[in-house]
Amino acid sequence: MLEVRLLRFRAIALVCCLSWLSPALALSPGERPEWCAPPHEAADMTPREPVAETQVMADDYRAPAGEPVRFAGDVRLMQFDQLLETEELLYDPQSRLVDIPVWLRYTDALIQIEAARAHYDVADGTGQFEEVVYRLVGHDGSGGADTVAMMASGLARLEQFDFTTCEPERPDWQLKAARVDLALDRGVGTARHARLEFKGVPVLYSPWMTFPLTDERKSGFLYPRFGRSGGDGFDISVPWYWNIAPNRDATFTGRWIEKRGVMLDTEYRFLGERQRGQLDLEVLPDDRRTGSTRYYGQFDYRARPALRWRARADLRRASDDDYFIDLGSDLIDSSVQFLRSVASISGGGRDWALDVMVDDFQVLDANVAEGQEPYRRLPRTLFEAGQALGGGVAWHVDSELVHFDRDAGVTGTRLDLHPSLRYSLDAPGWFIRPELGVRSTHYQLSGAEVTSASRTLPIASLDAGLLFERPAAAGRIQTLEPRAYYLYVPHRDQDELPDFDTRDLTFGFSQLFHHNRFTGADRQGDANQIAMALTSRLLDADDGRSLIEGSLGQIIHFSDRKVQLPEREVERRSTSATVAEAAWRPSRALAVTAGLQWDWENGETDVARLGLSYRSSNVGQAALGYRMRRDQVDQADARFRYPVNERLNLIGRVLYSFEDNDTLEVLGGIEYESCCWALRLTGRDYVRDRVGERQTSVFLELELRGLASLGRMPYELFRDRP
């Protein structure tokens, strides 16, 4: 009887080698185009009860004295999920040598291997497979090797090894190595003369490289990225990964920008039991276009110093105002006005929460005048507590203590207290929630004529609503939800109070039910008003999904609004703009949303927005957006991915500003996808800075499925890509 150790071989050399290609093992079938053939499955094996002992079946069995045992004719060796099939197998009990002189196939849950011949020494674990072909079970990976040899001392060697996720008969790309040596005891592999070929053309080459044989990370080069822009020329990045320790690593990326010079990007990460962090530093020592050193640094830190307590730091700094304009990648980067750095610690219990933070701002927008930059908050302390008293009654308190600091202008400390008492009466189909609170705000100031100031006033509100339901056609439910919110805040003169962080709250449907029309605590708006709103929904009775919903609301004012920000006039109108919101989801593939704020008194649209998103069952996607805020923004954004056929997609985006009568961005490209690779070519023309300077760029990305991507795209056109 053969020993169990024969099947324990499990083609260990190939399995260990394939850990070099661990992305392929993680590639799920859902990441492939739907029209591709399913991943390879193992050959069908007759169901059987798992057995620990090796079972051997053959048409012919001979064991002559003093000679090797011979199995012949449909030889099958089985143990657990392992199966070895061949037509002839010889085993010498004296030398403990196994010889398979003919074709064989080995299959388990992970891999299927075919070889022309094999021999194996059970005593010392050495042996060799020849003319090997393998396929990963349930995945797309496959390849071969001239020989797979197990040597003494836990060493293995593969000659003329290759790997691909394409069909083995038509491998559009292959990763090859003339020789691969595996130190199984140390978990390290070494490949010599490794190269990546695409359509038979070498793309990358390395005379020598090492890789891990386990899931542990290993230092080494990663795949490069490249692109080209009209302003900066070719842009090539080559990352090198450093596995410092199991909980620490770093990536150093050498980047060459043709018209600027050589840049170094460093990313350092660490992870502890109660903390984690990441340090990013980009340095361009001598920018040939500006003649200066450029840099950007960011440190992101999170910690849990104790139960229910969290600490956070996010520190950012750039060398100059134009860093993101010159070296950023999109319109969002180029429009950054401030870099905010913040550090905080927060915690709490069942009925309370505390947050202490400090922050600072680096101004990047030259149009921000001195004395108009944001205040530093050194520190800001927020305390919140609340508890139900029973019978629907609950108390709550919001408080804030903050010191505002800036190089110019008024500075000082502000204490804001807002305790309140609420009674909630809720029943099926209706609710009533009266609330009474007091807001008291106190200042200690520097650089102002008055060094101390305060404001105290009551805030009373009554929130009430109804919910009606009725059955509709096709098994649906329609709701009607009227709601009224009355707010009373008496007038207090606040003109002598500073303006540290207060702005007009962006008006929208949610603001109808808010106790203040300002952000921050420097202004508490006076109010004697009632907000009336009506919402209706059409719901799917089976899953509760909203098919159609619409909301309409307006505030009716019973008095003028005298409290305003500096240099603002008293508001005397009796009604607010009418706010309307709607959403329509006729199918899971299509959604339409819209919003409107209409000023009846002036006959003008204050805010308008429209959004349409479509996602087909294949890769087809489209999105159309429009947003307008009077005298500020008036833009349309259209983007699409159109499948010409199952392999070819067209992509595009147009961002247009009606306010400026200018196209802010035009992007167009093609995507070609096969079952094992994809090629994307994209051209982009966009406004790169706030003065309207344009830049044209070309991006090329070659994605080898299950391995890596070479090159890059400017950004992900759709975040929820199928």
How far apart are alpha carbons 280 and 715 in whole angstroms?
20
Q: In this predicted structure, what is the pLDDT of residue 695?
A: 79
Local confidence band at 237 (pLDDT 50, 70, 90 cut-offs): confident
pLDDT band at 715 (very low <50, low <70, confident <90, very high): confident
pLDDT at 15 over 60: no
pLDDT at 597 over 90: yes
CA-based nearest residue to 261, from 324, 326, 332? 326
What stretch of H or E contains 325? helix 323-327
Query: What is the reported pLDDT for 689?
Result: 65
With cut-offs at 50, 70 and 90, classify the pLDDT of residue 35. low
Peptide bond before residue 379 is cis, with ω within 30 degrees of 0: yes
- Residue 285 · residue 261 · CB < 8 Å: yes
Mean pLDDT of 212-229: 71
Residue 616 has pLDDT above 60, yes or no: yes
Sequential DSSP letters for 57-114: E-SEEE--TTS-EEEEEEEEEEETTEEEEEEEEEEETTTTEEEE-S-EEEE-SSEEEE
Residue position matching structure tokens 């910690």: 303
Task: Please tell me what DSSP assigns to residue 332.
Answer: H
Mean pLDDT of 560-565: 94
Q: Of 720, 707, 714, 660, whose CA–CA distance to 197 is shortest?
A: 707
- The predicted pLDDT at position 481 comes to 96
Q: Among 88-102, 327-341, 461-475, 542-556, where is mean pLDDT lowest? A: 327-341
| Furthest CA-CA distance within the chain | 114
Contacts of 201 (CB under 8 A, 6+ apart): none
CA distance 555 to 97: 91
Question: Stretch 4-24: mean pLDDT, rounded?
Answer: 41
pLDDT score at 167: 84
Is residue 236 within 8 A of residue 255, CB to CB? The reply is yes
Tens-digit pLDDT profile for residues 53-70: 677 888 888 888 878 888
512 φ, ψ (degrees, to nearest 5): -60, -25
Q: How far is CA 418 from CA 401, 501, 523, 528, 561, in A?
A: 12, 17, 13, 19, 21
Query: How far is the CA of 663 from the CAs of 609, 634, 657, in angstroms?
Result: 19, 12, 6
In order of 437, 462, 555, 578, 656, the CA distances from 532 in angstroms are 22, 12, 6, 10, 36
Average model confidence (pLDDT) for the chain?
85
User: For residue 53, with 0-12 CB atoms within 10 Å meaning exposed, 13-18 middle and 19 or more buried, which class applies?
Assistant: exposed
| Distance of alpha carbon 66 from the chain centroid | 67
Q: Is 372 left (phi over 0), alpha (psi -120 to 50) or beta?
A: alpha
Domain ranges of the chain: 5-218
Distance (Å, whole) CA 291 – CA 293: 7
Q: Within 10 Å of residue 665's Cβ, how many Cβ atoms?
A: 20
- 43 pLDDT higher than 60: no
Looking at per-residue pLDDT, the higher value among 459 and 673 belongs to 459
The Cα–Cα gap between 99 and 232 comes to 63
Average pLDDT, stretch 29-53?
A: 57
Phi-psi region of 290 (alpha: psi -120 to 50; beta: other; left: phi over 0): alpha
Eight-class DSSP state of 561: B
Q: What is the pLDDT of residue 557?
A: 96
pLDDT, residue 213, reads 58
For residue 11, name the pLDDT band (cuts at 50, 70, 90): very low
Q: How far apart are CA 194 and CA 164, in angstroms?
A: 14
Please write the tens of the pLDDT for every residue from 394-449: 999 999 999 999 988 899 999 999 999 999 999 999 999 999 999 999 999 998 88
Hunting for tokens 């840049």 — which residue is that? 263
Q: Which residue has the higher pLDDT, 549 or 122?
A: 549
Q: How far is residue 716's CA from residue 651's CA, in Å, rounded to a whole number?
A: 11
Q: Which residue has the tokens 């050959």?
A: 43
In 3D space, the residue among 644, 642, 613 whose CA is nearest the CA of residue 719 turns out to be: 613
Kindly indicate the confidence band of residue 42, based on its pLDDT and cuts at 50, 70 and 90: low
Higher pLDDT, 279 or 321: 279
* Structural contact between residues 421 and 435, judged by C-beta atoms closer than 8 angstroms: yes
| CB 197, CB 710: distance < 8 Å | no
Looking at 293-307, 511-525, 587-601, 698-712, which range is the least confident one? Answer: 698-712
Name the least confident of 15-29, 217-231, 250-264.
Answer: 15-29
Q: Say which residues have a Cβ less than 8 Å from residue 405's Cβ, sequence separation at least 6.
A: 375, 376, 377, 378, 411
Output the six-digit token pair for 637. Answer: 């954004």
Q: Which tokens sit at 452?
A: 């101390």
- Give the pLDDT confidence score for residue 7 in this predicted structure: 40
pLDDT, tens digit, 9 for 90 and up, residues 119-175: 888 777 788 889 988 887 777 778 888 988 887 766 888 899 888 888 888 888 888
Q: Please state, in angstroms and rounded to a whole number, the distance separating the CA atoms of residues 85 and 92.
A: 19
Q: What is each CA distance from 211 to 13, 184, 194, in whole angstroms? A: 14, 12, 12
Q: Shortest CA distance to 422 belongs to which of 408, 413, 435, 409?
A: 435
Contact 299, 282 (CB under 8 A): no
What count of other Cβ atoms lies within 10 Å of the Cβ of residue 380?
Answer: 20
pLDDT at 208: 79
Contact of 609 with 628, CB cutoff 8 Å: yes
Bridge partners, 25 (sequence order): none
Residue 671: Cβ within 10 Å count: 22
pLDDT at 575 over 60: yes
Lowest mean pLDDT among 27-36, 363-372, 573-582, 672-681: 27-36
**10 Å Cβ neighbour count for 629?**
16
In this prediction, residue 16 carries a pLDDT of: 39
**Quick one: average pLDDT of 209-219?**
67
Give the phi and the psi of residue 20 in degrees, each rounded to 5: -60, -30
In this structure, are residues 3 and 200 in contact, taking their beta carbons and an 8 Å threshold? no
Annotate 435-495 with three-state secondary structure.
EEEEEEEEEEEECCCCCEEEEEEEEEEEEEEECEEEEEHHHEEEEEEEEEEEEEECCCCCC
Contact 60, 155 (CB under 8 A): no
Q: Quick check: 211 pLDDT over 80?
A: no
CB 345 within 8 A of CB 315: no
258, 233 contact by CB (below 8 A): yes
Residue 225 confidence (pLDDT) above 60: yes
Query: Which positions ≥6 away from 164 have C-beta within 8 Å?
Result: 141, 142, 143, 171, 172, 173, 174, 175, 676
**Whole-number Å distance between alpha carbons of 629 and 614:** 25
* pLDDT attached to residue 135: 82
> Whole-angstrom Cα distance, residue 340 to residue 374?
10
Sign of CA dihedral 319, 324, 325, 328: positive
- Measure the CA–CA gap between 266 and 31, rounded to whole angstroms: 30
Is residue 690 very low, low, confident or very high in pLDDT (cuts 50, 70, 90)? Answer: low
From the CB of residue 490, how many other CB atoms can be counted at a distance below 10 Å? 13
pLDDT tens-digit series, residues 654-677: 999 998 888 999 999 999 988 888
pLDDT value for 97 = 86
